Amino acid sequence: MVDTAQRSTALKKTGTPATPAVDTGPVMVAGHPGAPTVNIAALNRQLLGTWADVRVLARELTARPDLHRIEGQSMTEHRDRVLAQLKILAANGHVHRAFPKDLGGSDDHGGNIAGFEELVTADPSLQIKAGVQWGLFGAAVLHLGTKKHHDAYLPGIMTLETPGVFAMTETGHGSDVASIGTTATYDPSTREFVIHTPFRAAWKDYLGNAARDGVAAVLFAQLITQGVNHGVHAFWLPLRDETGAFLPGIGGEDDGLKGGLNGIDNGRLHFDQVRIPRENLLNRYGDVAVDGKYSSAIASPGRRFFTMLGTLVQGRVSLDGAATQASAMALTIAITYGSQRRQFTAGSDTDEEVILDYQRHQRRLLPRLATTYAQTFAHDQFLVKFDQVFSGTADTDDDRQDLETLAAALKPLSTWHALDTLQEAREACGGAGFLAENRLVGLRADLDVYATFEGDNNVLLQLVAKRLLTDYSRKFAHAGTGVLARYVVAQAADRAYHGTGLRTLAQAVSDFGSTARSVGALRETNVQRELLTDRVETMIGEIAGKLRPAAKLPAKEAAALFNSHQDALIEAARSHGELLQWEAFTQAVETTEDEGNRQVLTWLRDLFGLGLVEKHLAWYLINGRLSAQRAQSVTAYIDRIIARLRPHATDLVDAFGYSQDHLRSSIASGAEKDRQDEARDYYRTLRASGQAPAPEKAPKKK
């Protein structure tokens, strides 16, 4: 098949040449003269990102058999094993990077997350339980407490001498933390806070380490003093004595067997007038004096609340990375298997076809591979921003808001993508994919909850949409090159929706002549950017116009108006997240030095970008952004890109850098190739011997 469309050399908005094309010839198999080749080692280093060395060390650790999950263990056995594995991590120091240097850490916040999210390859239960101990419980003390709390509590947290609970979520309130029911009422006569759960829905629930292992908690409760509720604050709360029994006034239950992550002892906690010293308030952002007077350097209760919660954003950061890792593992397994497994004699009377050569199989896996690459590059930029905020090099209110918006935009996309990819990879591997030994079903079960913890995905996207609306109304943002660096998209005052670039996309079919010529503009980097940016801008602009009357309506009517557009808001936020990923992918392409890698990554980026256009094709047609001819060319060119990428599929998953010690999947070990080679050799020898039985249906004479 010949692709006659050419990439233009039009200047991008930065004034630099657009990504060049070297793909004007026929689809060429690997090894064909002139075909690009993938430098796997260089691509692997690029995918490992900013903290590549940390990830390499982490993978050496996660290759250890004593950190691996054992399929088929009972819940109790699995919990015991994961707790023992946490002790290995503590002794190794793998989980201490974010803690202060004077306590044995290294103040490396980005490297800490990079190493931590690699634990998903060993066992997601290990990753999440470690996250509870050091990423939530320990981080809450670190970021919400002061020096006295650090000195008193962090050493025991770091060594695992003090296993802990992050007690925020309640049975009745998950994502709406501001409305939790547990109270902490200050009693000046005894200089104590009284912790109480006034009703059943206020029980703390779904808490890792709560059912069995936790001996203390960072508890989130409504701080009440002198008759005033100052909102949610965090407290240090001892839970159990040295025998493992609950302390007086504290009770709890085991959440029991879950749909996944059963190496974690999730449980419930409730409190009946439990008293703790005034000093147990983690008082970095708010304090209570001996006489009960409340004080805070942050006057606004709302800003104070979001500042406190913002310090704990690393949970969402790590889930974005871990979900992307899980997608990469799933695709490595499925594409490796698909490149070896044979089925049906489509083009030969004797040899069966490799299933990855079937177009439908490629369509199932390669677009998901493109998305996983986009997420990998976006996550690394996200992690850099996180490190800048938490290291203090970029720690303004705007920086923190940008980080929170990024987390709320990217975590939903990566966790949903992981679930979709794991399921598709499972199906693409047939019955073999359903065997626990091949990891896919176990990973799918464990990652299921990623879509709802650390913030329900739909709620997070609604937060993103509200931020987009705010910035739209203030005209702060301008969409263009480097969207990920600005984090928000808004309509530019000097740019119409059908501005330069988009007007040409809606021209009549007669202006283009053929589908091949229609492809040309769609392959242009700037055109893809325009299409994706315009969709976000237009959706936000339309919603903003429809919600404008809300400012003058009574609260109930305003809420009803907002609710009537909630679905559109979430869809706009999702498209914004997709744009961020596309921008990160494009920046990665433009900084790739190896020519072969740059060409293959360009095709992969185009597959991702045009895949988004194809996914939202109805919107582009309805809103006049694409002609019918152009719409047809999108799918046609996607099929063409996939054919070009097919010879490089195994190289692209090998570049993720997982060994069999990480995958632990027999169908990705080469065993399938051995089986297929044995079968082909058998039939070849049988035919050569002349002893092969004749088929009942004789082949037609040619």
Q: How much is the pLDDT for 628?
A: 85
The confidence band for 589, taking pLDDT boundaries of 50, 70 and 90, is very high
What residues does 538 pair with on adjacent strands?
none
- Least-confidence region, from 80-84, 177-181, 485-489, 531-535: 485-489
563: how many CB neighbours lie within 10 A of its CB? Answer: 10
Domains and CATH numbers, the chain: 52-293+303-310 (2.40.110.10), 313-654 (1.20.140.10)
Of 454, 447, 316, give the one whose Cα is nearest residue 383. Answer: 316
Distance CA 271, CA 252 (A): 9
pLDDT in tens, 111-169: 999 999 999 999 999 999 999 999 999 999 999 999 999 999 999 999 999 999 999 99
Of 9, 20, 16, 21, give the one whose Cα is nearest residue 481. Answer: 16
Q: How much is the pLDDT for 31?
A: 54
Q: How much is the pLDDT for 699?
A: 63
Q: How much is the pLDDT for 518?
A: 56
Q: How much is the pLDDT for 403?
A: 92
Q: What is the mean pLDDT of residues 33-49?
A: 93
- pLDDT surpasses 80 at 568: yes
- pLDDT surpasses 70 at 495: no
The confidence band for 343, taking pLDDT boundaries of 50, 70 and 90, is confident
- pLDDT surpasses 50 at 196: yes
What percentage of residues in the chain have a pLDDT greater than 70? 88
Q: How much is the pLDDT for 294?
A: 98
Q: How much is the pLDDT for 409?
A: 95
- pLDDT surpasses 90 at 701: no
Distance CA 576, CA 20 (A): 26
Q: How much is the pLDDT for 438?
A: 96
Which sign, positive or negative, has the C-alpha torsion 161, 117, 177, 204? negative
**3-state DSSP call for residue 122?**
coil
Q: How much is the pLDDT for 500?
A: 31
Are 117 and 131 spatial neighbours (Cβ–Cβ below 8 Å)? no
Burial per residue of 124-135, b for 16 or more beta-carbon CB atoms within 10 angstroms, e otherwise: bbbbbbbbbbbb
- Least-confidence region, from 76-80, 395-399, 569-573: 395-399
The confidence band for 484, taking pLDDT boundaries of 50, 70 and 90, is very low
- Stronger pLDDT, 33 or 330, i.e. the higher one: 330
- pLDDT surpasses 50 at 499: no
Q: How much is the pLDDT for 553?
A: 87
The confidence band for 696, taking pLDDT boundaries of 50, 70 and 90, is confident
- Stronger pLDDT, 90 or 175, i.e. the higher one: 90
- pLDDT surpasses 70 at 348: yes
- pLDDT surpasses 90 at 110: yes
Q: How much is the pLDDT for 353?
A: 87
What 8-state DSSP symbol labels residue 292? S
* Average pLDDT of the chain, as a whole number: 88
Q: How much is the pLDDT for 510?
A: 34
- pLDDT surpasses 90 at 16: no
- Stronger pLDDT, 278 or 33, i.e. the higher one: 278
Q: How much is the pLDDT for 504?
A: 39
Q: What is the mean pLDDT of residues 580-588?
A: 96
pLDDT in tens, 210-263: 999 999 999 999 999 999 999 999 999 999 999 999 999 999 999 999 999 999
543 contacts: CB under 8 Å, gap ≥ 6: 465, 469, 565, 568, 569, 572
679: how many CB neighbours lie within 10 A of its CB? Answer: 12
Q: How much is the pLDDT for 207?
A: 97
Which sign, positive or negative, has the C-alpha torsion 406, 409, 415, 417? negative
pLDDT in tens, 358-411: 999 999 999 999 999 999 999 999 999 999 999 989 888 888 889 999 999 999
Q: How much is the pLDDT for 34?
A: 73
pLDDT in tens, 643-674: 999 999 999 999 999 999 999 999 999 998 88
